[in-house]
């Protein structure tokens, strides 16, 4: 496994993070505890040390499974989790969103499920478009002073809100906003217009999710497989619904043939060329093994240029930022 410094922190994290949205079956789609354990152990044996989860993942099951798996080896991993939507399908209004009350209630529940005394990176999962940045920053500071979190991060926030929160934390000497997380792949490149430049300029560690476009970039849907095209109600799935996307997948498959590897490895290797830690979310041990193969691939400048060119986004297209608190179906599908 290869490692990298995470933003301006002193954390040395693996070049690929393990997302655990598929740990559990609370959503009706995912991996049972034994399969989850096999995925976790194989990732750890490969040298992986960056685990990302959320209270909403499988309605708390992912954190519970992780809590069991981390016993006796907690210090081997950077453990990140998120709050915003709650840990149950009927989570109440006072324990959802970005308020300090929701943050405190959520972190206490996550700590119990994870069976640990602190969370290494605590993310606000989505902006609720109600809570002001000042409250979020102060809430993170309270948790850090209480020893419950070490670092704070913002997931799926627009660039301007990330910049404001970072600035507020600096001016008030609060725990720094140390990281940003957002979707990025060959079929979702809008973050390159603002989120990447802002994050790099601010010295943030960056985690990107769905580097495979919900599986579209593996090419498996051309073979009749369904996967996330149907699971999670079709959320977090990028359909092959345009000439550009078809050309992009054709190029990924062609370069995979040149390397003698699978398409997922090319897509993940490309995602890793942007100064971010791509996060994978395998549902099986075979998927994990294939995804990790990306670490051994070195794309040539010519291959990167081909991929960049064929997938180039429309510069006039606005970034796809949720206008409201995402639906339960959308939020629970993030892996």
Q: Name the residues annotated as catalytic.
A: 57
CB 216, CB 238: distance < 8 Å: yes
Output the furthest CA–CA distance in the chain (Å, rounded). Answer: 54
Domain span including residue 115: 3-212+240-331
Task: Please list, in sequence order, all residues whose beta carbon lies within 8 angstroms of the beta carbon of residue 309, skipping any fewer than 6 positions away.
Answer: none
Q: How many CB atoms lie within 10 A of CB 231?
A: 20
CATH of the domain at 290: 3.20.20.100
Strand residue runs (E) in the chain: 3-5, 12-14, 17-19, 50-52, 78-83, 119-124, 149-155, 177-183, 205-209, 277-280
DSSP β-bridge partners for residue 151:
121
Give the total number of structural domains in the chain.
1
CB 279, CB 182: distance < 8 Å: no
pLDDT tens-digit series, residues 247-256: 999 999 999 9
DSSP β-bridge partners for residue 183:
209
Q: Give the per-residue pLDDT at 322.
A: 44
Q: Tell me whether residue 156 is in a domain.
A: yes
Q: Tell me whether residue 229 is in a domain.
A: no
Q: Tell me whether residue 74 is in a domain.
A: yes
Sign of CA dihedral 196, 201, 202, 206: positive
CA distance 61 to 59: 6
| Tokens coding 49 | 């040390």
CA distance 127 to 29: 26
CB 311, CB 263: distance < 8 Å: no
Q: Tell me whether residue 50 is in a domain.
A: yes
Helix (H) / strand (E) containing 61: helix 61-69
Q: Name the residue with tokens 């990790």.
A: 292
C-alpha R_g of the chain:
19
Q: Tell me whether residue 55 is in a domain.
A: yes
CA distance 109 to 112: 5
Question: What are the C-alpha distances in Å from 58 to residues 19, 21, 29, 44?
Answer: 12, 7, 9, 22
Residue 262 exposure: Cα atoms within 13 Å on the Cβ side: 20
Q: Give the per-residue pLDDT at 235.
A: 63
pLDDT tens-digit series, residues 261-287: 999 999 999 999 999 999 999 999 999
Q: Tell me whether residue 217 is in a domain.
A: no
Q: Tell me whether residue 23 is in a domain.
A: yes
Task: Please list, in sequence order, all residues whose beta carbon lies within 8 angstroms of the beta carbon of residue 311, skipping any fewer than 6 positions away.
Answer: 186, 187, 189, 244, 248, 251
Q: Give the per-residue pLDDT at 220.
A: 87
Mean pLDDT by 10 residues, the chain (335 residues): 95 98 96 98 98 98 98 98 95 95 98 98 97 98 98 98 98 98 97 97 98 94 67 67 93 98 98 97 97 97 98 70 46 44
In degrees to the nearest 10, what's the CA dihedral of 80, 144, 165, 167?
-130
Q: Tell me whether residue 222 is in a domain.
A: no
Q: Give the per-residue pLDDT at 223.
A: 78
Task: Please list, in sequence order, all residues whose beta carbon lies within 8 angstroms of the beta carbon of residue 272, skipping any fewer than 6 positions away.
Answer: 15, 16, 278, 294
Q: Give the per-residue pLDDT at 127.
A: 97
Q: Give the per-residue pLDDT at 33.
A: 98
């Amino acid at each position: 496994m290869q490692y990298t410094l995470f933003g301006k922190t002193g954390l040395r994290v693996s070049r690929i993070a393990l997302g655990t949205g598929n740990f559990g079956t609370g959503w009706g789609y995912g991996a049972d505890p034994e399969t989850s354990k096999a995925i976790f152990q194989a990732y750890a044996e490969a040298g992986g040390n960056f685990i990302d989860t959320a209270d909403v993942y499988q309605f708390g099951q992912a954190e519970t499974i992780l809590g069991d798996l981390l016993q006796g080896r907690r210090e081997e991993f950077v453990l990140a989790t998120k709050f915003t939507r709650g840990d149950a399908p009927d989570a109440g209004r006072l324990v959802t969103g970005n308020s300090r009350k929701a943050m405190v209630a959520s972190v206490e529940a996550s700590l119990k499920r994870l069976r640990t005394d602190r969370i290494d990176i605590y993310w606000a999962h989505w902006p609720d478009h109600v809570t002001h940045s000042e409250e979020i920053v102060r809430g993170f500071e309270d948790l850090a002073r209480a020893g419950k979190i070490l670092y704070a991060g913002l997931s799926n926030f627009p660039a301007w809100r990330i910049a404001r929160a970072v600035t507020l934390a600096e001016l008030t000497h609060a725990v720094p906003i140390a990281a940003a997380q957002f979707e990025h792949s060959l079929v979702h490149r809008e973050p390159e217009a603002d989120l990447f430049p802002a994050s790099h300029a601010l010295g943030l560690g960056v985690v990107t999710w769905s580097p495979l476009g919900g599986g579209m970039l593996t090419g498996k849907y051309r073979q009749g497989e369904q996967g996330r095209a149907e699971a999670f109600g079709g959320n977090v799935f990028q359909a092959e619904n345009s000439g550009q996307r078809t050309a992009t997948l054709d190029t990924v498959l062609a370069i995979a043939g040149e390397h003698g590897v699978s398409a997922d490895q090319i897509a993940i290797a490309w995602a890793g060329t942007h100064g971010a830690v791509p996060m994978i979310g395998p549902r099986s041990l075979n998927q994990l093994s294939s995804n990790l193969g990306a670490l051994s691939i070195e794309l040539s400048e010519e291959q990167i240029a081909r991929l960049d060119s064929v997938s180039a986004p429309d510069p006039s297209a606005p970034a796809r930022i949720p206008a409201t608190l995402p639906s339960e179906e959308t939020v629970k599908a993030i892996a």
